[in-house]
Chain A
Amino acid sequence: MMRFLFTALMTVLATAALSAQHGYTRAEVENGARLFQASCATCHGPKGDMVRGVALLGGQFRRANSDEELVKIILEGIPGTSMPPNSYSPLEAGMIVAYMRGIAAGDSVVVASGDVARGKALFDGKGKCATCHNPESRMAPSLADVGTLRRPLELEESILDPSADLHPDYRFVRAVIKSGAVVTGRLLNQSTFSVQILDSAQNLRAFNKADLREFVINQTSEMPSYRGALDTQEVADLVTYLTTLRGRR
């Protein structure tokens, strides 16, 4: 446990140092990771090294030195090459840069002291994680590649205190319609005039806000806290297992 904590602490320190250097928050680096994996990795590969002569996660670039130059390349592409322009905002491109810089700085080196096999058993068994976090689920995020997106400390935090850093994609709403019936579900989208949700029966539903008696976006997670339900070793095992989930490779 000490070793795990130490590793986790080192990770946090590395992240803090990175943030200090480049002015990115942890959430933004994480978001950059998601964007990177969703877009850049399509051609550059998950480790950023599948285009010949380019190592996106190596920290050295032939055509750019500053973050701003990297952002420019991400947004505008490189004419005459297969690197296309991208429709990201400068902010999003900056997050991708933050992620690339972070990996290059050794930010995501993951060493945890838990046991993968025990963690998997907890995930499928006692923890009942797969009840919601399964590939078919629409109400909870898939964890198939969570190991590439989250560091151990963040995984631990999500298990013990799920509401601490609630992702906007998994906010739930409570609405009271005209008949007085209560509808709950996952917030998919909203505008000034309407709201779109996936209700608890997994139906896509939309409402005019003017027709609702009540409408609240919950600020707490639907996921229960495992604090007390799992002991520290079990949490470490689970975290270790989760860090091995790195999608299809």
Chain B
Amino acid sequence: MTLRLLAFMLAASATLGGQVSFDRILRAPSEPQNWLTYSGNLQGHRHSPLTQVTPANVRNLELAWAFQALSLEKFEATPLALDGVLFTVQPPNDVVALDGASGRTFWTYTYRPSQQARPCCGRVNRGLAILGDSLFMGTIDGHLVALDTRSGREQWNVAVKGARPEAGYAFTVAPLIVKDKIIAGPAGGDFGVRGFIAAFDPKTGKELWRFDTIPGPGEKGHETWAGDSWKNGGSTVWTTGSYDPELNLMYWGTGNPGPDFSGDQRAGDNLYSNSVVALDPETGVMKWYFQFTPHDLFDYDSTQVPVLADIDYQGRMRKVMLWANRNGFWYVLDRTTGEFLSGKPFAKVTWTTGLDSKGRPQNVVKTTAEGNRVYPHLAGATNWYSPSYSPRTGLFYVPSWQDGSAIFANRPAEYIEGRSFLGTFPTGNELSINGTQSNRRLPSGGHGAVLALDPRTGEKKWEFTMADVTDAGILTTATDLLFSGGREGFFYALDARSGQLLWKAPVAGIVQAAPMSYGINGRQYVAIAAGNSLYAYTLRQ
């Protein structure tokens, strides 16, 4: 590139002002007032560099505004913030642009998904991606749409090839932008779909490449599926991946093999279900994979946000990936090669006796038709709830379910298009799946916790124990604050160094989203979706 061209491009980007280049996304921490990706940066840290709110003044946080969604669906989206404007998704698939200071609406884009759409677990959406002047959203009926950031006008709307809603394909994930591509994949792993991750052209929505998370005939890994089971093997993505610009690799976690609880009809390891896959973003070619739960019988999706950190690991700086898995282990992997470095339980685990030196689970419980009680619970020791990594404390923060178990039975399931393809749904202990308004459980009956894990030592540094379980993600800040919530309708701040409770606010509904932070005119805000509302807090003036 000539210097003159570079100068022209810089001038052009200055004139365009609000345009979000990929360079801005790469350097997200240098504009801490904005929140340009699902996790705040491409490394999946969900860590805000903003410093106005501190452990000393956090008790002065007060509600700046509340936005009431015109929806009774679960509100799981993380807003994006760009130059004072928040963009979020009112479920199922309406996009709203809000003034970040007042919560008032600039515009609303209304999308009516097909009645054929059948997402497994609510008509939900986890958020948007932004690039240039466009916002991108996957829909629960298998479409991808692009909207003008300033008007909400639809720029394009494509039905993704093969992602038929009547077969259970549904986009719930916030897409990931890598360079000049939109990356996303559909959910539907409980309906017997065949998962994939694909790249799309931001200008047109045209598909550029596709990585099938289940290898087809002739491809390596295909032999890990008995018979035709690969055709309906799930292994979908529904939580946003991460990207390492130096390695030029992106990482995505995949979900359960299908049918979820009926393993006998899909003998084999079922690659690449419950794995992390490292893909070349230019081509979709896989460089490596690591499978956390081979031949899963417990719905232990590996749909967690991959957290990328450069840490001193056993005396040597390493590029690692931190991963607290639904299966109850938290892993440290070398993200250059996929090498397993460590894996330790962070909750009660009985489905396996432990991991071998390669990270493969040993003596896995073989469930019977009668059923076996296994820890963790069906909902996992964690789930899709965003973890956080603070480069300041060096700690990895994980929302978790402790002491939960369920009875899993292994009985055949018949594939019928568009119907749940699960096998026998497990029965749990007292833990409620959708939440109830009363909690009369004993602590041993299962509860939620925020865990602070030290990847250098493998130790748990502290735990903040809740009386009920949690579906809330975690945000940390550069002032060592940690924000999270839970089923009980609180949003709270902890000291990220000690786990001490510093502040809490009632938010009236279940928090089943992750917090983010942004700034406008020198003021820091922290936003969280709870119940059917989005709340923003700032320091009392």
Contact = CB atoms under 8 A, between A and B. Distances in A.
A192 B465 contact: yes
A28 interface: yes
Contact of B468 (A72, A192, A219): A192
B490 A23 contact: no
A95 B425 CA distance: 11
B110 interface: no
A67 interface: yes
Contacts of A160: none
B440 A171 contact: yes
Interface stretch (B203-211, B302-310, B386-394, B427-435): B427-435
Given A23-B409, A90-B433, A217-B442, A191 B490 contact: yes
A23 B427 contact: yes
B488 interface: yes
Contacts of B433: 89-92
Contacts of A67: 424-425
A68 interface: yes
Contacts of A168: 430, 440-441, 445
B538 interface: no
B490 A193 contact: yes
A187 interface: yes
A164 to B, nearest CB: 15
Given A22-B424, A23-B424, A72-B420, A190 B490 contact: no
Contacts of B63: none
A94 B261 CA distance: 15
Interface residues of A, number: 32
A193 B422 CA distance: 37
A189 B425 contact: no
B421 to A, nearest CB: 9
B541 interface: no
Interface string B223-259: 0000000000000000000000000000000000000
Nearest to B261: A23
A25 interface: yes
Contacts of B443: 217
B466 A192 contact: yes
A219 B440 CA distance: 12
A235 interface: no
Interface string A201-244: 00000000000000001010000000000000000000000000
Among A22, A87, A187, A191, residue most surrounded by chain B Cβ atoms (within 10 Å): A191
Contact of A189 (B409, B419, B432, B440): B440
B139 to A, nearest CB: 20
A25 B426 CA distance: 11
A89 B504 contact: no
Given A23-B409, A168-B430, A190 B425 contact: no
A193 B468 CA distance: 11
Contacts of A19: 370
Contact of A89 (B420, B434, B437): B434
Nearest to B466: A192
Contacts of B441: 168
A133 B467 CA distance: 30
Contact of B371 (A23, A71, A72): A23
A119 B488 CA distance: 44
Among A22, A68, A72, A217, residue most surrounded by chain B Cβ atoms (within 10 Å): A68
Contact of B439 (A68, A92, A191): A191
B438 interface: yes
A188 interface: yes
A90 B425 contact: yes
Among A88, A187, A193, residue most surrounded by chain B Cβ atoms (within 10 Å): A193
Contacts of B440: 168-169, 171, 187-190
Interface string B455-469: 000000000011110
A91 B424 contact: no
B486 interface: yes
Interface in B7-62: none
B439 A20 contact: no
Interface in A15-32: 19-20, 22-25, 28
Nearest to A87: B434
Contact of A23 (B370, B465, B466): B370
Contacts of A95: 427
Nearest to B488: A191
B539 interface: no
A94 B425 CA distance: 8
A171 B440 CA distance: 7
B427 A189 contact: no
A124 interface: no
B407 interface: yes
B472 to A, nearest CB: 12
A69 interface: yes
Contacts of A188: 438, 440
A175 B433 CA distance: 29
Nearest to A28: B427
Given A90-B433, A169-B440, A171-B440, 10 more contacts: A25-B427, A68-B419, A69-B419, A71-B425, A89-B433, A94-B425, A192-B466, A192-B468, A192-B486, A217-B442
CB-CB nearest 4 A-B residue pairs: A89-B433, A23-B409, A168-B440, A23-B371
6 contacts: A68-B425, A72-B419, A89-B432, A189-B438, A192-B465, A193-B504
Interface of B: 369-371, 407, 409, 411, 419-420, 422, 424-428, 430, 432-434, 437-443, 445, 465-468, 486, 488, 490, 504
